[in-house]
Amino acid sequence: MEPSLHPGDYVLVNRWAYRRREPEAGDIVVLKDPGAPGEFLVKRVMSGDRLTGLFVLGDNEAHSRDSRQFGMVPMHLIVGKVRLHTKP
Amino acid sequence: MSVAHKLLRALDRVRPAPVAYAHCDIPCGIYDPHHAQLAAHTVIRMVDLIGQLEKPGPNAAPEQKQEYHNKLTRYIATKEQHAEIYKNEIRILYGDYFKPEHLQAFPTLHDTVWKALKAGSKGRQEINPAAAEDMLKLANEIAEAFWKTKNIATYKAKAPYPTARETVYPKLG
């Protein structure tokens, strides 16, 4: 996600962000990696909604595995929305 | 360092938080230029097949026209897809595999990759036999450099596909 996020940054995630609200394009979300159980990814929402799932991309597109590879992410894999992130 | 970061770092030490990966290319070490070479063969083959396709005349039956359009569309779709695979594979080798020391040994690599990507775009956009041939030629050059970085010798042989173009292979075993 460089340049938005860098290795070693902390992110605080709101797990309840999408209980009543639709995700918006531009939101940064943490999701369960559809290709690697137990791993988490952090990506930016491009489009989608709670019914169909989200299309997510990494900011550093050339080096990101994202919806271009694994397709739409169903909502049960979305952990939550990044509310705050801090840099070392 | 911000106060918030110090606080979160302290919390992380007490109760470690899971890691979320932003860059998710796992440095697996598994790379091979063969995918790009294979995709170039496919683009050459599709250009050949498009060229061989008999165009229906003005008095052709609707079924004949439909058959022509179906075949043409399928060839074009395959050409598009494999030209994009080619570009992606070249980008992976360039961005993830090749290191600065490789570039010192192969100073023309930047230029070769740039030309390969341009040829890939042209091969995708146009029905262009020369661009398709360039895609394979440049993929072969990249393959030669790639295998040299691994101290694996290469040889050239005609590919065992209908395209039968000269292709660079590693001498393994």
Mean per-residue pLDDT over chain B, rounded: 92
Residue found under tokens 């030490």: B13
pLDDT digits (tens, 9 = 90+) for B83-101: 999 999 999 899 888 988 8
Cα dihedral B142/B148/B152/B157 (nearest 10): 40
Which ipTM score applies to this complex?
Answer: 0.82
Please give, rounded to a whole number of angstroms, the shortest distance from the CA of A45 to a CA of chain B: 13
| Beta-carbon separation of B95 and A33 below 8 A | no
Cβ–Cβ contact A64 with B under 8 A: yes
Considering only alpha carbons, which residue of chain B is nearest residue A84?
A: B4
Cβ–Cβ contact A68 with B under 8 A: no
- How many contacts (CB atoms, under 8 Å) link A and B? 60
For A83, counting Cβ atoms within 10 Å of its Cβ (0-12 exposed, 13-18 middle, 19+ buried), the class is exposed
| Beta-carbon separation of B95 and A62 below 8 A | yes
Kindly give the confidence (pLDDT) of every residue in chain A, 88 residues in length, as a single tens digit, with 9 standing for 90 and above.
555 788 788 999 999 999 989 999 999 999 999 877 888 999 999 999 989 899 998 877 666 778 888 889 999 999 999 999 888 8
Cβ atoms of residues A39 and A45 within 8 Å: no
Cβ atoms of residues B71 and B54 within 8 Å: no
What are the residues whose beta carbons fall under 8 Å from the beta carbon of B164, sequence distance 6 or more?
Answer: B158
pLDDT digits (tens, 9 = 90+) for B108-136: 999 999 999 999 999 999 999 999 999 99
For residue A62, list chain B residues with Cβ-Cβ distance below 8 A: 91, 95
**Complete DSSP assignment for B72-113:** HHHHHHHHHHHHHHHHHHHHHIIIII--HHHHHH-TTHHHHH
Q: Which of B169, B159, B164, B156 is nearest to B33 (CA)?
A: B169
For residue A29, list chain B residues with Cβ-Cβ distance below 8 A: none
